[in-house]
Structure 1
């Protein structure tokens, strides 16, 4: 079925008919991926979190809470993340923290938790900026190393949740390649997708 904001909104309006709270969360997270407005996304995430809090069984409930918070984190809605974190019971909050924090990270409060994630994200962005800058600085050399003509190809850096992928794209197709990747939007699909011509990741 086609994923459009209109279809997503129709499903969203009927989600209350689903009996199990965990199923509601699953559906709402799918709805989230089809919406194109920040306000609606925030409302869907808040609603999904509310249903996740009603899931029975601490382990299963913690898992569902973390799933919603991961989507909030992906969208960088840190103010919403702080608001939602404060709705979690203190004992379960520790379990959620463990799902997110690295071994060398620590947080006792929601404020510390969100700030740790924000700083990690900012550090990651700075590192990615450096990687992209170096690749573009030596763009011609990298293209030649792949047997490609720098006069005809350009490097297209594309950020993914895992980092950054560099595509060698024919210059005439560069604007279309950017649009194509933006529309695809899902990093998992990028590895197996072609743009046309002889476009390939480096």
Structure 2
């Protein structure tokens, strides 16, 4: 997979046109794919590393993004939250649009609470406190009824839910901070399929 594993979703207030752009000598946007419904880009930049105000090295960083044109939704893929935040701020300035982080976790929970979805719950992880000690608990959720699932959601405050997209045959997870994670072996087309459906749920 050429995308990073983790992504955060954003809604934007107007459509943007993104091509391959040289932002500066140290920053550029690279077009990877331009399809009817979505575009895939990579934002690359060089981050100077200083010690006592002296430049000692340079670090090349990148964040990938999938932009769904019809839903006005952008998913930023990065190895760190700071990298994603940096690219978010740069895109807002470059294209004069407002970014609003989408609370994917509660929206996906609401979707799972209905009978109208294509996801299968595989695993639920939460923290249980006993005698002032925190213990991570992982529950195999395959075969849980909707009522059993909702009871766990309401009583245990899950941190991470692992899901299986039956249409795209793809595993992924969503955590309480609304970050989506995919396996290293997941193909881009499968990721696009999952995110396109997620976008339709939140738009």
Q: What TM-score results when the alignment is normalised by the length of structure 1?
A: 0.26
Greater Rg over alpha carbons, structure: 1
Q: What TM-score results when the alignment is normalised by the length of structure 2?
A: 0.26
Higher relative CO (CA 8 A, sep ≥ 6), structure 1 or 2? Answer: 2
Which one has the bigger helix percentage?
1
Which one has the bigger strand percentage?
2
